[in-house]
Amino acid sequence: MNFFRTEPAGVIAPEDALPGRDTPIQISGKHFVNGSSMVAPFPEQMETIIVGMGCFWGAERLFWEVPGVFTTAAGYSGGTTPHPTYSETCTSRTGHTEAVLVVFDPDVVDLETLFKVFWENHDPTQYMGQGNDLGSQYRTAIYGTTEAQMAAAQASLENYQMKLTATGFGKITTEIAEAGEFYYAEEEHQQYLAKNPYGYCNHGFCQVAYS
């Protein structure tokens, strides 16, 4: 029996990524749970942020349940391959992480509330994976769509790191960067746990409270 666990490789170099395709994956665009549109244009007051915290099935459910979140979508972001498929992303050869697009009304829900959901419901200290889901497609990430979001994300990381360190946990590996293209996942992955209530979900309270 092999008791040793090999550390997953990092994000693939852009020149080595799969070529992908020019045409987007076709989806209905309608949120299965609340009926809102998953695709732009969104109402004028809305903001968007993209998060990665392992398998996007459970992560998306966490956010569509937050009051003030207008819509959510499962997809792929942070990598190179244009319009990747789920099977391609699962090879770790697209550079993308499984991601959730969160569209929210900042007059109803603030970033701190969203960050609390993010930090408390996965292990941000795990490198290139979540639990037994290993690979760069499961890495932890926050992709901001404004400079203010990225600054707030960095501040939230530093805040949570202090709490983790004080309780004996390791260093956060979460990638914080400007949002690039968000590629929508196939229709069957959208709001997956609403369609499959007993489906796989590895998300739950992790480690210590954010606030």
Q: Which amino acid is at 13?
A: A
**Cis geometry, peptide bond prior to residue 82 (ω within 30 degrees of 0):** no
Please report the pLDDT score of residue 142 as a whole number. Answer: 98
pLDDT in tens, 86-105: 999 999 999 999 999 999 99
In the chain, the domains with their CATH numbers are 39-195 (3.30.1060.10)
> Across the chain, what does the average pLDDT equal?
94
- Nearest one of 26, 122, 29, 141 to 79, comparing CA atoms: 141
pLDDT in tens, 11-22: 999 999 999 999
Distance CA 153, CA 169 (A): 20
The secondary structure of the chain in percent helix, strand, coil, rounded to multiples of 5, reads: 25, 20, 55
Please report the pLDDT score of residue 6 as a whole number. Answer: 58
Catalytic residue among 55, 90, 201, 206: 55
pLDDT in tens, 119-164: 999 999 999 999 999 999 999 999 999 999 999 999 999 999 999 9
DSSP letter at 99?
Answer: E
pLDDT bracket for residue 211 (50, 70, 90): confident
The verdict on whether 55 is a catalytic residue reads yes
Q: Please report, rounded to a whole number, the percentage of residues in the chain having pLDDT higher than 90.
A: 89
Rg (CA), the chain: 16
Please report the pLDDT score of residue 208 as a whole number. Answer: 87
